[in-house]
Chain A
Amino acid sequence: TQLLEQSPQFLSIQEGENLTVYCNSSSVFSSLQWYRQEPGEGPVLLVTVVTGGEVKKLKRLTFQFGDARKDSSLHITAAQPGDTGLYLCAGAQGTSYDKVIFGPGTSLSVIP
C-alpha cells in the first residue's frame, strides 16, 4: 500500500509558466522532504520541512507543509528548462530516517 500520493504524475509546460505539484497522504509525517532526480542520476535533496504550516523558499521554488503535516506542495515560478526532472516527496513517520517513505514522483518537462 502506497502511503504517499503525488499529483500530477506527468506535467509538460512552456518555459516561463508557473506550476504546482502536490504530495498527499492520510498519514501524519514528522518531516517531509522534496528531491529532484534528473535522468540517469540519483535524487538530490531540495528541502526538508518539519513544522506544520511551514513555508520555505529556494529561489523560484516555494515549498509548503500542510498544517496537519499530511500533505505538501511545491510551487515553481517562471519554470525553466533546467527545472526538468522527476520531483519526489519523501515523508518520515518516526524520528529516525529508516521510516522514510517515497512517493511515486511527478515528472516535469519544461519546454523552451
Chain B
Amino acid sequence: DVKVTQSSRYLVKRTGEKVFLECVQDMDHENMFWYRQDPGLGLRLIYFSYDVKMKEKGDIPEGYSVSREKKERFSLILESASTNQTSMYLCASSLRKYRGTEAFFGQGTRLTVV
C-alpha cells in the first residue's frame, strides 16, 4: 500500500521558533510537494521538488524553505514561525509523468503558532 507519512499530526509552536515538518514517501516518486490548506482557500502550493536537491517555489514560498537530501524525504522549514502560519500543512508525492499523474497525500500536520 502506498504511503506518505508526515512526522506529526498536531504541532504547537511559539512565535519566532524554527519549525521543521518532515515528510517521507515509500513509493520512489520523483515529485514531492508541500501545500497549506486554509478554509475557503483550498490547497496552496508552498514548494515542490522534482528530484533530490532540486526545489522550485510555489505560489506562497515567503517565510518557508525546504530541503530534499534524499529521494524519499522532503522537509518544510519555517525559519521564524509567525501566527499567520497557523494552518494545515499537507505533503504529497507523485510520479513524474504528464497529464493527470496522481498525487498521494499524507495525513496532514495541523500547526498552531502562538
A and B interact = yes
Q: Which of A's residues lie within 8 Å of B, judged by CB?
A: 2, 4, 9, 30-31, 33, 40-45, 48, 50, 88, 90, 92, 95-98, 100, 102-105
Proximity string of chain B (92-114) to chain A, C-beta cutoff 8 Å, 1 when within and 0 when not:
10101011111111111000000
Chain B residue nearest to A6 (CB atoms) is B42
Chain A residues with Cβ below 8 Å from B45 are 100
- B100 pairs with A48, CB closer than 8 A: yes
CA distance A104 to B40 in the complex (A): 5
- B99 pairs with A95, CB closer than 8 A: yes
- B4 pairs with A42, CB closer than 8 A: yes
Chain A residues with Cβ below 8 Å from B35 are 102
- A42 pairs with B92, CB closer than 8 A: yes
Chain A residues with Cβ below 8 Å from B44 are 102
- B42 pairs with A98, CB closer than 8 A: no
Task: In the A-B complex, list the 8 residue pairs whose CB atoms are closest, starting with the nearest.
Answer: A42-B105, A48-B100, A102-B43, A31-B100, A102-B42, A104-B42, A95-B98, A45-B102
- B42 pairs with A48, CB closer than 8 A: no
CA distance A44 to B101 in the complex (A): 13
CA distance A102 to B59 in the complex (A): 12
Supposing A42-B92, A42-B108 touch, asked if A97 and B103 sit within 8 A by C-beta, the answer is yes
- B41 pairs with A31, CB closer than 8 A: no
A-B contact pairs, 13 of them (CB 8 A): A9-B40, A31-B99, A33-B100, A40-B107, A41-B107, A42-B107, A45-B104, A48-B102, A92-B100, A100-B45, A102-B44, A103-B42, A105-B42
